């Protein structure tokens, strides 16, 4: 496990969170992380939201220990760690809820054509369109229907009069995309994997990649806290992920069903 010294540069509000800047010789790539010793009882995983040759930015919630550091503080970090996103596509689809969107931000410039689906409870929680590059196709989804398409993304229930289900546009974008990267609560991935199976008859192995964000105190596959069950058996998010093939997170019972086309 690689050990490095990061230098804390600054933390500034980026409502509703904080943006924190570290200088680091070897920064994590999108989906990977470093385990930082921020003076807590266990190390804290930090995921990059932007990466350059001198370091990386990360987004953290208010009150996070990184926001209390003084500029110039030397921070002991382990990593880069884990298995990140592998993007090699001209048409990339990114899918996130507003909570996990920062995990996909470093992918916004990784393809010639990028579409982003962002889901929030209500319009006031959606990010400003100005944080996205102007060439990104932005699709907003709200659970209360206050803006954009009606969520949740995986719902195939008929929408009430005047609303359009997000799953309809999701199907169209999945057909067009060469790759899709997701950042959502892990419990939602099996239903979205089922939609991918029904929309794409033979998706390639890295077509859909999903990041799992969970506590990772040891980062070494030792404590078992990040253990999950996948189609390929028991895995540790910290060393086998955090990015997994979405289709390996598919429900076992649905894996055995023949693929069906999603109803229009
Ligand atoms: S964080 Fe300890 S096993 Fe993954």
Q: Is 78 in the pocket of ligand 1 (CB under 6 A)?
A: no
State whether the beta carbon of 215 lies less than 6 angstroms from ligand 1: no
Q: Which of 91, 129, 121, 119 minimizes the C-alpha distance to 107?
A: 91
> What is the pLDDT, as a whole number, of residue 134?
93
- Please give the pLDDT value at position 262: 37
Examine domains 3-81 and 91-255 and report if their fold is the same: no
Nearest to 178 by CA among 156, 206, 149: 206
Q: Would you say 100 and 122 are in contact if contact means Cβ atoms under 8 Å apart?
A: no
Which CATH code is given to the segment(s) 91-255?
A: 3.40.50.80
pLDDT value of position 116: 98
Rounded CA-CA distance 150/237 in Å is: 31
> Is 236's C-beta closer than 6 angstroms to any atom of ligand 1?
yes
**Binding site membership of 77 for ligand 1 (Cβ less than 6 Å):** no
Report the residue among 43, 78, 219, 234 best suited for mutation to probe ligand 1: largest number of ligand atoms under 8 A from its CB: 219
CA 247 – ligand 1 centroid, Å? 22
Q: Report the atom number in ligand 1 closest to the C-alpha of 217.
A: 1
Please provide residue 33's backbone torsions phi and psi, each rounded to the nearest 5 degrees: -150, 165
For residue range 57-104, list pLDDT tens digits in order.
999 999 999 999 999 999 999 989 999 999 999 999 999 999 999 999
The whole-angstrom separation of Cα 129 and Cα 185 is 23
Q: Is the CB of 217 under 6 A from ligand 1?
A: yes
226 lines ligand 1 (CB under 6 A): yes
- Ligand 1 binding pocket includes 222 (Cβ within 6 Å): yes
Predicted local distance difference test score (pLDDT) of residue 257: 40
pLDDT, residue 251, reads: 59
Taking the CA of residue 224 as reference, the ligand 1 atom at the shortest distance is 3
Q: Is 136 in the pocket of ligand 1 (CB under 6 A)?
A: no
- For ligand 1, whether the C-beta of 219 sits within 6 Å is yes
Digit-coded pLDDT (tens) for 176-196: 999 999 999 999 999 999 999
DSSP 167-224: HHHHHHHHHH-SEEEEES-GGGHHHHHHHHHHH-SS--TTSEEEE-----SSSSS-S-
Closest to 92 measured CA to CA, from 109, 80, 74? 109
| Ligand 1 closest atom vs CA 237 | 4
Complex ipTM value: 0.99
Ligand 1 near 100 CB (within 6 A): no
| pLDDT tens digit at each of 264 positions of the chain | 789 999 999 999 988 899 999 999 999 999 999 999 999 999 999 999 999 999 999 999 999 999 999 999 999 999 899 999 999 999 999 999 999 999 999 999 999 999 999 999 999 999 999 999 999 999 999 999 999 999 899 988 877 777 889 998 999 999 999 999 999 999 999 999 999 989 988 888 899 999 999 989 899 999 999 999 999 999 999 999 999 999 998 654 343 343 333 343
Domain boundaries of the chain, sorted by first residue: 3-81, 91-255
Residue whose CA is at the smallest distance from ligand 1 atom 3: 221
Q: How far is the CA of 217 from the centre of ligand 1 (A)?
A: 6
| CB-CB contact of 263 with 156 (8 Å) | yes
Look at residue 255 in the predicted model and tell me its pLDDT: 39
Q: CA–CA distance from 3 to each of 91, 105, 123 (Å)?
A: 36, 25, 42
pLDDT of residue 26: 96
Q: Going by CA atoms, what residue is nearest to atom 1 of ligand 1?
A: 216
Neighbouring CB atoms inside 10 A of 53's CB total 6
| Residue 42 CB less than 6 A away from ligand 1 | no
User: How confident is the model at residue 19, as a pLDDT?
Assistant: 95
pLDDT of residue 145: 92
- Domain made up of 3-81: CATH architecture: Beta Barrel (2.40)
């Amino acid at each position: 496990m690689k050990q490095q010294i990061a230098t804390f540069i600054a933390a500034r509000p980026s409502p509703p969170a904080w943006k924190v800047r570290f200088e680091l010789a070897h920064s994590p790539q999108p989906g990977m992380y470093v385990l930082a010793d921020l003076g807590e009882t266990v190390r804290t995983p930090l995921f990059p939201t932007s990466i350059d040759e001198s370091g990386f930015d990360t987004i953290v919630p208010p009150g996070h220990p990184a926001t209390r550091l003084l500029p110039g503080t030397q921070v002991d970090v382990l990593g880069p760690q884990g298995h990140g996103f592998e993007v090699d596509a001209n048409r990339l689809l990114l899918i996130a809820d507003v909570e996990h969107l920062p995990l996909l931000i470093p992918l916004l410039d990784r393809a010639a054509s990028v579409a982003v689906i962002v889901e929030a409870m209500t319009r006031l929680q959606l990010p400003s369109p100005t944080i996205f590059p102007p060439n990104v196709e932005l699709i907003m989804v709200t659970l209360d229907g206050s803006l954009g398409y009606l969520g949740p993304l995986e719902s195939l229930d008929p929408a009430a009069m005047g609303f359009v289900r997000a799953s309809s546009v999701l199907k169209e974008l999945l057909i067009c995309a060469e790759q899709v990267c997701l950042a959502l609560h892990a419990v939602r991935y099996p239903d979205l994997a089922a939609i991918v199976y029904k929309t794409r008859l033979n998706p390639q192995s890295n077509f859909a990649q999903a990041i799992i964000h969970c506590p990772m105190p040891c980062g070494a596959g030792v404590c078992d806290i990040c253990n999950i069950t996948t189609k390929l058996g028991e895995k540790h998010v910290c060393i086998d992920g955090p990015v997994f093939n979405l289709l390996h997170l598919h429900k076992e019972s649905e894996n055995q069903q023949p693929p069906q086309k999603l109803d229009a």
